[in-house]
Structure 1
Amino acid sequence: MEELYYDNGNETFLVHYRSGPSYRMTTSHFHATYEFFYMMDGQRKFFIKDRTLLIEAGDIVVVAPNVLHRTTQAQTPDYERLVVNVHERYLSADGAARTEGLRPLFERDYLLLKKGTYASAAIDTLAEQMIREVQEKRPGYEDYARTLTIQLLISCCRQLPVQTGEPPAASNPMHERIFEVVRDINERYMEELTLERLAERHYVSPYAISRSFKEATGFTFVEYVNSVRVKEAIALLLGSPLKVNVIARRVGFGSVTHFGRVFKEVTGKAPLFYRKKG
């Protein structure tokens, strides 16, 4: 296995290249940065928002901040991929105004470019430069790598295929039913959500949801509900003056104690860490 990892230490710029056997992402994945995910070889299943996509060699996914996603193993055991996370303030010359060339990025939850729908040679060149800069660490490498990130993202936005209509339905009918449940959770996370209630609402047995949820999304049912609630809690911690116990109830937790325990499990941090950041 080959791996290259760079983190600037303040959660605003990260480069992670990995090549080798597949592994399972064991934590919920959402963050305040944009994520550029380039599948250079192999395959991964990529759950994002309310859909699981098969990402193959040459495919690119760009995920907006605070959109819940997770990758899981596909049929191909070995893979190669480059992931770059960058905060919005690094995506313009003055650190404030949004770059016009990145408009599609700011208007969607994610961008998807499939192999054969864009000019891959330019992307390959930029990705190779990015990896080389982080490997060699010559003077100014972080600034150089960030400029390469902006070029990658603008290139993706310029070549983004026109998207029309809804995404295609899952090939597995049960998985499509699970994605309907996922959308329901995304909208009703503040309510009491049980397998029984959701099963009744979607005309399927609780056992069927429990059995198929992880296969379809990469999350267990409870894990997904908790992740959505924690994601919404972070938004309130950063963007409102509400007290933690009020936020806990607002996002669907019965007690602040349970909220604190789940929050730490999902993020690795206590809720007040995000209040301080806000």
Structure 2
Amino acid sequence: MLGANWFQYEYRRTSTEFFQEVFHAHSQMELTYVHEGKGLLIIDGKSYSIEPQTLLVFPPFQMHRIQVHVTSDEPFIRSVLQFEPAVLQGYLNDFPSLKSFFQRLMLQQANVHPVNAMAETEPFAALLKQFGQTMGGMGETEFEENRGVFLLSLVHQLKQSPDGGSAYLKYHNHRVEDIIGWIEKHYAEPFRLEDLASSLHLSPYHVAHLFKESTGTTIVAYTQATRIRHACALLRKTTLPLSEVGYRVGIANPSYFSKIFRQIMGVAPLSYRQHLIK
């Protein structure tokens, strides 16, 4: 791994033991290319299957969670790039169209799917490989120069094919989709597992077990993540006080709202809002 938190890249990071994330977000842009491994991505109230030769795109502060089934015979191998958007700003001034696309991408307004089918031979994947195999032998000045070219080239490739290939590899567990859909409609209300189970004509135990088995997380954890995701939208689009934002997403206690928000997003609600204003 080279660089500080504002630029991190690791080519073919490998996990051979159990791999599972909690719901989280971060200020960096993240591009993860999956070489090997299968699992599940939950993002923006939807679930997607993760397959080999797919690119995962996470703009800053976009909440997500990955679960991958890992064994010694079936490792999870991925190339992971994270960088602060400010790293690119100086390079983008001479490319207005690319700069506009990147700004929309940062605000989650660009038409780029979170999961994109992408063969290892495609230009984007080839760039990841080339930089990963050569960056270790670069001096500091050469590395800084090549890093800029690398990031510009990746964003250019992303802009060229936002709708390419068989993107949207949707995870077809209809019961899980039903549970997610119910939570999307009722997240602002006090959560009762019995109400959810009754709407699906299942027992509370069956609903909880099914969701945990399919997604690797609990319904309560997912409900909290959904509330925080909607809180982010209110913080972006309104000037409502933080207490009102928490109340509208079903977390009426302001201190508890701030605590959960920080746990998931990595920053306090006010810091999140101020970051977007910059």
Q: Secondary structure at the match of 1:107?
A: coil
Partner of 2:116: 112
Structure 2: which amino acid aligns with 1:202?
L
User: Structure 2 matches for 1:15-164, cutoff 5 A?
Assistant: 15-17=9-11, 18-31=13-26, 35-48=30-43, 49-56=45-52, 58-63=53-58, 67-77=62-72, 78-85=75-82, 90=88, 93-94=95-96, 96-98=99-101, 106-107=110-111, 109-113=113-117, 115=119, 120-132=121-133, 134-135=135-136, 136=138, 137=140, 138-154=143-159, 156-157=161-162, 159-161=164-166
- Distance apart, 1:54 and its partner CA: 3.7
Q: Check whether the contact 1:7–1:15 (CA below 8 A) recurs between aligned residues.
A: no
Change (3 A) 1:222 1:64: same
**Which runs of 5 or more structure 1 residues have no equivalent in the other structure?**
171-175
8 Å Cα contact 2:49/2:170 also seen in 1: no
Look up the equivalent residue of 1:79 and give its one-letter code: F
Report how far residue 159 of structure 1 moved: 3.7
Give the drift of 1:63: 4.4
The percentage of aligned residue pairs carrying the same residue is: 22
Q: What amino acid sits opposite 1:169 in the alignment? A: H
Q: TM-score normalized by structure 1?
A: 0.76
Q: What is the CA–CA distance in structure 2 between the aligned matches of 1:75 and 1:276, rounded to whole Å?
A: 39
1:262 & 1:162 partners in 2: Cα distance?
32
Cα deviations across residues 140-189 of structure 1 (Å, max 9, x unaligned)?
233122113214424543742487xx94633xxxxx21221112222432
Q: Highest relative contact order (Cα 8 Å, sep 6+), 1 or 2?
A: 2
2:24 is paired with a residue whose SS is coil
SS at match of 1:253: coil
Residue 207 (structure 2) aligns with = 209
**Hey, what's the Cα distance between the residues in 1 that align with 2:144 and 2:3?**
15
Does the aligned pair in 2 maintain the 1:34–1:86 contact within 8 Å?
yes
Greater shift, 240-249 or 253-262, is seen at 253-262
Q: Following TM superposition, by how much is the alpha carbon of 1:232 offset from its aligned partner in structure 2, in angstroms?
A: 2.0
CA drift of 1:134 comes to 4.8
Alignment: residue pair count: 257
Q: CA deviation at 1:199?
A: 1.0
Q: Relative to 1, partners in 2 of residues 1:24 and 1:212: Cα closer, same or farther, differing over 3 Å?
A: same
Flag structure 2 segments of 5+ consecutive residues without an equivalent: none
Q: Does 1:169 align with 2:172?
A: yes
Query: What's the TM-score, normalizing by structure 2?
Result: 0.76
